Each structure stands twice: as C-alpha cells, then as structure tokens.
Amino acid sequence: MDEAAVARLVPGLGLALPRVPHRGRVGEVRATSAGSSLELHDFRVYQPGDDLRQVDWNAVARTGELILRIRQDEVSPRVEVVLDGSRSMALSPRKAACARELALLTAEVASRQGLSPTLLVAGARPERAQGAACRAALQATAFDARDDLSASLARLPPPRPCGLRVVVSDFLFEADLPALCSRLSRGAAGLFLVQVLDAEDLDPSGGEGARLVDAESGAALEELLTEDVLAAYSRRFEEHQRALRAAAVRARGALLTAPAYEALAGLVAGPLRPLFVAGGGA
C-alpha cells in the first residue's frame, strides 16, 4: 500500500456527499433535524414548550400571531468504507494494494472533510475501525475470506445510517446483485461501489491450457484458453458489469471501476472522479 501517494492526494480532495440533509454528530453539514444553525428551514405557529428565543418577532408584528422560526441543525455525517476481504481481492499484490489505498484515501479524505469515517472489513474475521484507526486496520487486512462479499456481509454488524457508504470490492461473484446493492444502500444517503479489478480480471491472458482455480472456493476448471474461450469470458464479464451497474443505479448508487494497474492519482482523476471532488466540500 503506497501510503505516501495517499497522503499526497488527500489535501486536495473532498468526498462528493449527496446534496440531501444528513444526520450525525454536530458538525458542518446540514442535518435533517431542526437545530440552532443560521440556516432557515421553515416557519410554524408557536406551540407551548417551544423555545421563545426562536420566535420571529417581525412576523408576530405583521400577523399578530406567535410565529416560530425553524432552523436546521448542522451535523458531521458518518462515512462508511466497506472493504471486501475475500481472497479474490488479493489476486495480485497490486490489486490488494489498490483496494487498501482506495479505502484509506476515502477514510483520510473524510476525516479531513470533518466527517466521521468508519472502516468495515468484510473478511473471514470482520473488522471495524473508526477515525485514525482505519489506517492500522487496513494495514492488517489479510484478504482471507473464502466466500464472497454477499456472504461475508452477514458477518458484519447491521448497517447504520450514514451519509455516504463506499464499498471497495471486485464484485466478481455470483449473487443476486439487485438485492446486494439494495442491502448496501440501506441507511446510506449516498452509495459508491468502487470496483477494483486486476489486469487479469479485465483482460485475461490465454494461449495455453490451464487449470483455472477459483480464488475463493478453490473450485477448478480445466480449459484451453483459446480465443473463443477468452471471447466468451469477455462477453460474460460485460454482461456481469451491466447487471452490476444497473443494480447500483436502481439502489441510487454509482459503480466506479478502478483498474488496479493504474496509479492512484490517475484513478482519482479518472474513473473515481464522481467520488472524489477536487478541493473538498460537501
């Protein structure tokens, strides 16, 4: 994991939070609840027990009724980074490093933005870290789960409401993708599916016979990697990607595919641009 590259990118980036009211601890982002910020949210008639300090006396003078000024609260929303801990994420060292770097970058940018980052690692042994502990947790992540993300999510604590949920995985498994995306978006105002793919995932090399072994299940398949076989793989891969993207959109999320062989800066400036905005801001 190139932590230096992450550190270089963090200062100039911000997470693209969805433009909706959020919930969370006191902070800088408008909340869904009424509070004491300067942002005017609404007016309503005074009811016994309301804070008299919020009475809009100008309106009282105009109308003769006690009108209350409703202001919105300002909160610091949670950002959840879910990292797939399955073995396929470590298909190559670069793929594993890229997944860690993207998770770390998201957490670091969120911290710098005043948000509360939480890292959830869906591995063989589920991990949960917050704030500065995210870095150490990422360094210790082993990518050792023998099942895919849809199965390992069951081992994580129930999803909590959050402002933004970023899921880092390769999403290369057979599952009910709409149901998975719906589950991932539950309680989140915004959802980004960051798909980290190795070069072999995107464009497998062929030319000879091979015993293909599934990284997670260990199942084997013997194939002569001919052009036809590779073309069939590409066709099925595209179908899978289309299905995944459609499922993400239906869950009001976005699928961002990050080739692991690209540099982190290039990914931020390229495929991951919807997630990371230059200069920060909510």
How far is the C-alpha of 269 from the C-alpha of 220, rounded, in Å? 38
Tell me which long-range contacts 225-232 makes (C-beta under 8 A, separation of at least 24).
Answer: 230/204, 230/206
Q: 197: part of which helix (H) or strand (E)?
A: strand 188-197
Q: Give the amino acid at 265.
A: A
Region of 4-12, 37-45, 167-175, 266-274 interacting with other proteins (CB under 8 A)? 167-175
Among 200, 242, 274, 278, binds other proteins (CB under 8 A): 200
Binders of other proteins: how many residues, by CB under 8 A? 34
Is residue 243 part of the contact set for other proteins (CB under 8 A)? no
Nearest residue (CB) to other proteins, 88 versus 257? 88
Is residue 183 part of the contact set for other proteins (CB under 8 A)? no
CB 194 within 8 A of CB 256: yes
Contacts of 231 (CB under 8 A, 6+ apart): none
Q: Within 25-44, which residues bind other proteins (CB under 8 A)? A: none
Is residue 231 part of the contact set for other proteins (CB under 8 A)? no
Nearest residue (CB) to other proteins, 55 versus 215? 215
Q: Give the amino acid at 253.
A: G
Nearest residue (CB) to other proteins, 116 versus 195? 195
How far is the C-alpha of 177 from the C-alpha of 243, rounded, in Å? 7
Is residue 201 part of the contact set for other proteins (CB under 8 A)? yes
Contacts of 131 (CB under 8 A, 6+ apart): 111, 116, 117
Nearest approach in angstroms of CB 205 to other proteins is 9
Among 20, 132, 212, 231, binds other proteins (CB under 8 A): 212
Residue environment code for 30-40, b if the CB has 16+ CB neighbours within 10 A, otherwise e: bbbebbebeee
Sign of CA dihedral 141, 181, 18, 40: negative
How many CB atoms neighbour CB 195 within 10 A?
Answer: 23
Q: Within 134-163, which residues bind other proteins (CB under 8 A)? A: 146
Q: Within 39-98, which residues bind other proteins (CB under 8 A)? A: 88, 91
How far is the C-alpha of 264 from the C-alpha of 257, rounded, in Å? 13
Among 60, 124, 199, 229, binds other proteins (CB under 8 A): 229
Nearest approach in angstroms of CB 201 to other proteins is 5
Among 68, 107, 134, 172, binds other proteins (CB under 8 A): 172
Nearest residue (CB) to other proteins, 66 versus 229? 229
Residue 64 tokens, joined: 């003769």
How far is the C-alpha of 185 from the C-alpha of 180, rounded, in Å? 9
Nearest approach in angstroms of CB 39 to other proteins is 47
Region of 14-22, 23-31, 56-64, 165-173 interacting with other proteins (CB under 8 A)? 165-173
Is residue 198 part of the contact set for other proteins (CB under 8 A)? yes
Task: List residues near other proteins by CB under 8 A.
Answer: 88, 91, 146, 170, 172-175, 198, 200-201, 204, 208-223, 229, 232-233, 236-237, 240
